[in-house]
Structure 1
Amino acid sequence: MIEAGQTAPDFTLPRDGGTDVTLSSLKGGPVVLYFYPRDDTPGCTTEANDFTAMLPDFTAAGATVIGVSKDTVSKHEKFIAKHDLGVILVSDAEGDLCETYGTWVEKNMYGKKSMGIQRATVLIDAEGVVARVWPKVKVAGHSAEVLEAVKAL
């Protein structure tokens, strides 16, 4: 997994609304990248709703919040519409960003091993350097913890 102090690998990925997001174009303000397994599942919905609820606070702190999964843009758009989400969701359909950031991992559920996205968050500072990494995120209270880290930058 990527570590604090490293330069955040750049990316350009499609987002909801038919445009792209390029990380390097967001320099000048912090970026919160949160990786999640799949749209419209209980934990992922809670996490997206929590970040959306706190989005005014993240925006006031100058931060951009971006959710990353392998779901398609059209699935993201349905997820956003269904839950009235305010965060940006990008589609890493090929999994390249997940691989680069180290969130594509082997999981073991009920004794069955499979590959999937590990829920994780990466805070990138205004200069494009990884400031903090939260691997294996537990959703409850996570967005508030990330907001405090953003404010501390």
Structure 2
Amino acid sequence: MKIEQIRSKLEHQELPDNFIYPTSFDAYLLAHPTAGNELEPWGITADPESNARCSAQYGLPLVKFAQAWHEDMIACFIAGTGDNPKVVVLNPWAQTLVDNEWRETGQVLEELPNFDAWLEWARNSELVALYAEDRTQRDG
């Protein structure tokens, strides 16, 4: 997805009161017009429905900004934690057996102080390294 499409989606979604995207997030989008091939499988995204569902599920005002495609992970800003909001990495599809029934309970995978810390975490993750290796082999 190109930067213009992402910006349009980001600007037109309903956000929690007083939430603004951190300047480091905007700077990243400007510096990576194709929205981060370097972070594959992570992709920058906006999803108002996911914001509402995850906010209700976790009891926090969340703004989804990235998803690891085919890996059951999303990254969200936690609204209300300042101009440089905290980030939480979630598996909202995780299930737990409760009273002999599987229920979507979600799982917090990582909590990070801000977008820059998430970016460093993602870049240094084994998952991104594996995808980069696959891309190198695939592209020759």
**Same fold by TM (over 0.5)?**
no
Which structure ranks higher in relative contact order (CA pairs < 8 Å, sequence separation ≥ 6)?
Answer: 1
Larger Rg: 2
Please report the TM-score for the alignment, with normalisation by the length of structure 1. Answer: 0.35
Higher helix share: 2
